[in-house]
């Protein structure tokens, strides 16, 4: 049987990836280009305003870039594995923060 903490972590991981995908898809609809870390190369004010977006959108961007790198640049499987683990942990932390923020906003804390 799976423990309560493990189940909550699994939900946070899934929520983090879903939220990241939602943010990136919404960005692509409105900006008509995919979200990327190049947003940090804009002017100082735009780069600063992109940081909160990238904090939550990063897992999707990392996985998308990793899959594309594996397909088109024939990247090493070890690199793909490490990038996937990093994106997974990032998604877990971002998902946990987003869930806690939603719980706080709903008055459940």
- Chain centroid offset of residue 105 CA: 21
List C-alpha distances in Å: 41 to 36, 53, 86, 104.
10, 14, 22, 33
Q: pLDDT digit string (tens) for 57-73?
A: 999 999 999 998 888 88
Quick check: is 79 in a domain?
yes
Q: How confident is the model at residue 99 (pLDDT cuts 50, 70, 90)?
A: very high
Quick check: is 51 in a domain?
yes
- Chain centroid offset of residue 27 CA: 13
Quick check: is 39 in a domain?
yes
In total, how many domains does the chain have?
1
* Residues of the domain holding 92: 4-104
Quick check: is 64 in a domain?
yes
Quick check: is 109 in a domain?
no
pTM of the model: 0.88
Residue 20 has pLDDT above 90, yes or no: yes
């Amino acid at each position: 049987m799976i423990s309560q903490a493990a189940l909550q972590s699994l939900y946070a991981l899934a929520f983090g990836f879903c939220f990241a995908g939602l943010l990136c898809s919404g960005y692509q609809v409105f900006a008509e280009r995919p979200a990327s870390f190049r947003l940090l190369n804009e002017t100082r004010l735009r780069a600063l305003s992109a940081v909160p977006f990238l904090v939550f959108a990063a897992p999707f961007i990392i996985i998308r870039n990793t899959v594309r790198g594996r397909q088109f640049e024939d990247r090493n499987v070890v690199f793909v594995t490490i990038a996937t683990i990093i994106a997974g942990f990032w998604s877990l932390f971002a998902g946990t923060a987003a869930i806690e923020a939603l719980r706080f906003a709903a008055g459940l804390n």
